[in-house]
Structure 1
Amino acid sequence: MRLMLSLLVLLSAAVHAELTIQVTQGKQSAIPIGIVPFEWDGLQPLPEDVRGIVNDDLGRSGYFRTLAAENMIGRPYAPEQVVFGDWKNLRQDFVVIGKITYDGSGYAVDFHVMDVHQKVELFHHRVRGTASQLRDMAHYISDFVFSKLTGIPGVFSTKIVYVTTNRERNRFNLNYADADGAREQLIFTSTQPIISPAWSPDGKRIAYVSFESGRTAIYFQELATGKRQMVLNMKGSNSAPAFSPDGQRLAFVHSEGGNPDIFVLDLASGNVSRLTDHYAIDTEPQWMKDNRTIVFTSSRAGGPQVYSLDTITREVKRMTFQGNYNARPRVTDDGRKLIYVHREDEGFHIASQDLATGAVNILTMDTQLDESPSVAPNGSMVIYAATEADRSILAAVSVDGDVKFRLPSKYGDVREPAWSPIF
């Protein structure tokens, strides 16, 4: 996210975050890095712990192993203050230092990335913002450091949307939060189920399904204003909305007195076209980055399997062959990995399939009843819903299975996660 741009203002006021991150597994080859507490000479404590957020972001990624502040020998904030030998003795590869200042109109963070082994400053950058943007500034720093040291775009400034359920109050909430679960806000609440939230490519609105009208209807809701619009309420069932990468079309599932099929809505003209017409169940469409191919789940081979559909030629090809249950497909933006729910040993788990070789890797054997995978926009992580102690929680796993963490809710069940694009 670029700082100094106007930030999203949601319909509702911010509430305390309900999601808390618990890292359960990281990469064995994680890079040792020290995030030194940033120098701050203000009279009052900062509204946000900038260093703590950066430290947690990088540590949670699994790509880095962060050093506890109490184990640091010094607290440098300028390059000339760094004693590289001290950090080498602490077995650190990199050190991030910085200083926060306030000039009456806003805050500035000057930060430096130091290479311990080469004994040089690699990068120096400054980011500015208001008090309410300090958390965004911290995520920006995390993204900067992560991308510079790994070559992979950071996703710490992205968002997630998800549904929480309070069984006792019969209440369904569509919520929105930072990727780390902080700053949760309410988008929409109902006494009727809410399912299948999906982001628009520009990150400005959410499509989702609500049962409030007596049947499943698809709605759009703008995050900046809260404006809500019923988009599809055709007779029968309307579900599983998915924006095309160019934002001009919406794939969805519709059925009226028969088996579900996949349709596409042209958002400019309002025209609806049918893509599949099969006696089996066709559902859960998701666009690939080429803006032409849709992956979806179908029972046309007996049990649910993943297929691809060319929206121009209407050619359908089967993609999954291992096991008798593979569903809810998602494809990484680089087109290399197919992510889906796979049944293995009577449990439902998240699987990754290499689209070049067909090799399948089961990512989540440590959780049960896994569902609703959503891939991070940099293709490195998958967030999904899992069942733990009779409650539905959110969890995440890297596409290689090395990194795992959970985002359990303090209140109620959490499901149907969707990871935002980078915006």
Structure 2
Amino acid sequence: MKHISFLTFFFPAKWYLSASLLCLSLISNLAWAQFKVEVSGVGLTQVPIAIASFKGEESAPQKTSVILSADLERSGQFRVVPNLGLSMDELSRPDHAMLRQRSADALVAGSSTRLADGRYEIRARLWDVVSGQARGDYRETVAAADLRLSAHRLADWVYERLTGEKGVFATRIAYITKTSNKYTLWIADSDGENAQMALTSAEPIISPSWSPNGTQLAYVSFESRKPVIYVHELATGKRKVMANFRGSNSAPAWAPDSNSLLATLSRDGGSQLYQIDVASGEAKRLTQNPGIDTEPSYSKDGSKIYFVSDRGGSPQIYRMNVNGTGAERVTFTGSYNISPALSPDGRWLTYISRVGGQFKVQVLNLSTGQANAITETSADERPSFAPNSKLIVYATVLQGREALMTSTLDGKIKARLAGQGGDIREPAWGPYR
């Protein structure tokens, strides 16, 4: 039931049936309300950090310290020191000697205060336990409904203060579920919480792709009883048909400037790559290959296109110039490699490789050509990079249930975003807000 997305291009007449079969495996119970984050694995260079319970958070709708702890652990860069039992606000003076005895290098303490107008003021202080000095103060005032987002922003602030790199906790992911005869496209926080419905349909929805500014999603919907590419404005819900040519219209991917989309079309026979102008809807053919070219994506600077092709006899990942010239093969290990996603920093390529009948997430170092499988599961699909290039989200089957996972690039730290009684697919990690 998995990994049909590429194979369907070998049987254009059966596209609808095959894609329907793909989506039928998205069996889900939408009664779930939230995800539970389960972090596993041990990293070699994690920063041990203490997170105190925030003063006043016990009466708030969201507990800032709990969300902050889960975010930092999921990043793979931090290890939250357990069982400290600390409850402190940002003005409290820490017991640095005790914290050093517990091997903590840093501490976050703060408060969550409800104001007269119903909003909450979040304050926090970051301490360097080793030196005994404060590293900075954080403050923001938010509506009660934005407390979770505020905690993610605080986690991003702590992450950047201690690593020098941007965090991704306040970003979003898109994914798809199915229950009975209903398919739903969801937008959620990076930890899977706070899911908001963007679209529901009686027909399959596949291949969500974020615009670079995070305001729109492109995806494929079968509501017209054939695959059609839509562009969906998230703030208003307005939709625009972007590709409804003869045959199949699939695998949309945004250009870095948001002015065009890459897509796989079969309007002229075969399945080839096209560039579609978002304003006019005009499609320009990029590849002229007797085989199948699909699953395209741009490099961050827009100069290269990565895609999957069977031109060499089996599905492999290729790279070409933006005008369709100079195609060269990128993957050489394994006979079946699909679903490429390029890291925003341009250093890494993640994809799915079939190894001994199992489908695993691979990470390829583009400078060395070294590829490594980073999962122990056997039915992985659709990997997608976080905007800071440090984490990957993908779908898989774990303990008999389909779930979203995040992983560090070395595979050492994984977090399961497990729906309560539901299955989820087709994840796509959004850009910075």
Name the TM-score, length of structure 1 as normaliser: 0.91
Would you say 1:400 and 2:416 are equivalent positions? no
Counterpart of 1:118, as a letter, is: S
- Distance, in Å, in 2 between the alignment partners of 1:380 and 1:110 is 27
Give the match for residue 409 of structure 1: 419
Give the match for residue 386 of structure 1: 396
- Distance, in Å, in 2 between the alignment partners of 1:111 and 1:302 is 57
Alpha-carbon spacing, 1:78–1:163, altered in 2? closer, same or farther (3 Å): closer
Q: CA-to-partner distance for each residue in 1:168-190, whole Å, 9 max, x for gaps?
A: x1221111111111111211112
Give the match for residue 418 of structure 1: 428
Would you say 1:95 and 2:107 are equivalent positions? yes
- Distance, in Å, in 1 between the alignment partners of 2:207 and 2:54 is 41
- Distance, in Å, in 1 between the alignment partners of 2:392 and 2:90 is 37
Alpha-carbon spacing, 1:80–1:415, altered in 2? closer, same or farther (3 Å): closer
Give the match for residue 18 of structure 2: none
| Structure 2: unaligned runs, 5 residues or longer | 1-29
Stretch moving more, 297-306 or 220-229: 220-229
Give the match for residue 38 of structure 2: 22
Give the match for residue 49 of structure 2: 33
Give the match for residue 137 of structure 1: 150
Give the match for residue 184 of structure 1: 195
Please tell me whether the aligned partners of residues 90 and 123 of structure 2 are also in contact (alpha carbons under 8 angstroms): no
Please tell me whether the aligned partners of residues 177 and 183 of structure 2 are also in contact (alpha carbons under 8 angstroms): yes
- Distance, in Å, in 1 between the alignment partners of 2:147 and 2:40 is 27
Give the match for residue 209 of structure 2: 198
- Distance, in Å, in 2 between the alignment partners of 1:50 and 1:18 is 16
Report 1:5-404 matches (<5 A): 17-40=33-56, 45-68=59-82, 70-72=83-85, 74-79=86-91, 81-105=93-117, 106-166=119-179, 169-256=180-267, 258-312=269-323, 314-364=325-375, 366-404=376-414
Counterpart of 2:362, as a letter, is: A
Q: CA-to-partner distance for each residue in 1:120-166, whole Å, 9 max, x for gaps?
A: 11111212211111111111100000111112211110111101122
User: How far off its partner does 1:259 sit?
Assistant: 2.0
Q: SS at the partner of 2:311?
A: strand
Counterpart of 2:142, as a letter, is: G
- Distance, in Å, in 1 between the alignment partners of 2:324 and 2:241 is 30
Counterpart of 2:70, as a letter, is: D
Name the TM-score, length of structure 2 as normaliser: 0.89
Counterpart of 1:95, as a letter, is: L
- Distance, in Å, in 2 between the alignment partners of 1:241 and 1:377 is 19
Give the match for residue 14 of structure 2: none
Counterpart of 1:81, as a letter, is: R
Alpha-carbon spacing, 1:386–1:78, altered in 2? closer, same or farther (3 Å): closer
Q: SS at the partner of 1:157?
A: coil
Q: SS at the partner of 1:300?
A: coil
- Distance, in Å, in 2 between the alignment partners of 1:40 and 1:406 is 29
Alpha-carbon spacing, 1:131–1:412, altered in 2? closer, same or farther (3 Å): closer
Please tell me whether the aligned partners of residues 79 and 121 of structure 1 are also in contact (alpha carbons under 8 angstroms): no
User: How far off its partner does 1:410 sit?
Assistant: 2.1
Counterpart of 1:286, as a letter, is: S
Counterpart of 2:129, as a letter, is: V
- Distance, in Å, in 2 between the alignment partners of 1:300 and 1:26 is 41
Please tell me whether the aligned partners of residues 16 and 183 of structure 1 are also in contact (alpha carbons under 8 angstroms): no
User: How far off its partner does 1:313 sit?
Assistant: 6.0
Please tell me whether the aligned partners of residues 284 and 329 of structure 1 are also in contact (alpha carbons under 8 angstroms): yes
User: How far off its partner does 1:57 sit?
Assistant: 0.9
Counterpart of 1:23, as a letter, is: V
Q: SS at the partner of 1:153?
A: coil
User: How far off its partner does 1:349 sit?
Assistant: 0.4
Stretch moving more, 238-247 or 126-135: 126-135
Alpha-carbon spacing, 1:267–1:57, altered in 2? closer, same or farther (3 Å): same
Alpha-carbon spacing, 1:221–1:15, altered in 2? closer, same or farther (3 Å): farther
Q: Compute the RMSD of aligned alpha carbons.
A: 1.8
Q: SS at the partner of 1:301?
A: coil
Q: Provide runs of 4+ in structure 1 moved above 6 Å.
A: none
- Distance, in Å, in 1 between the alignment partners of 2:398 and 2:101 is 41
- Distance, in Å, in 2 between the alignment partners of 1:185 and 1:249 is 26
- Distance, in Å, in 2 between the alignment partners of 1:141 and 1:238 is 41
Q: SS at the partner of 2:168?
A: coil
Counterpart of 1:164, as a letter, is: T
Please tell me whether the aligned partners of residues 199 and 205 of structure 1 are also in contact (alpha carbons under 8 angstroms): yes
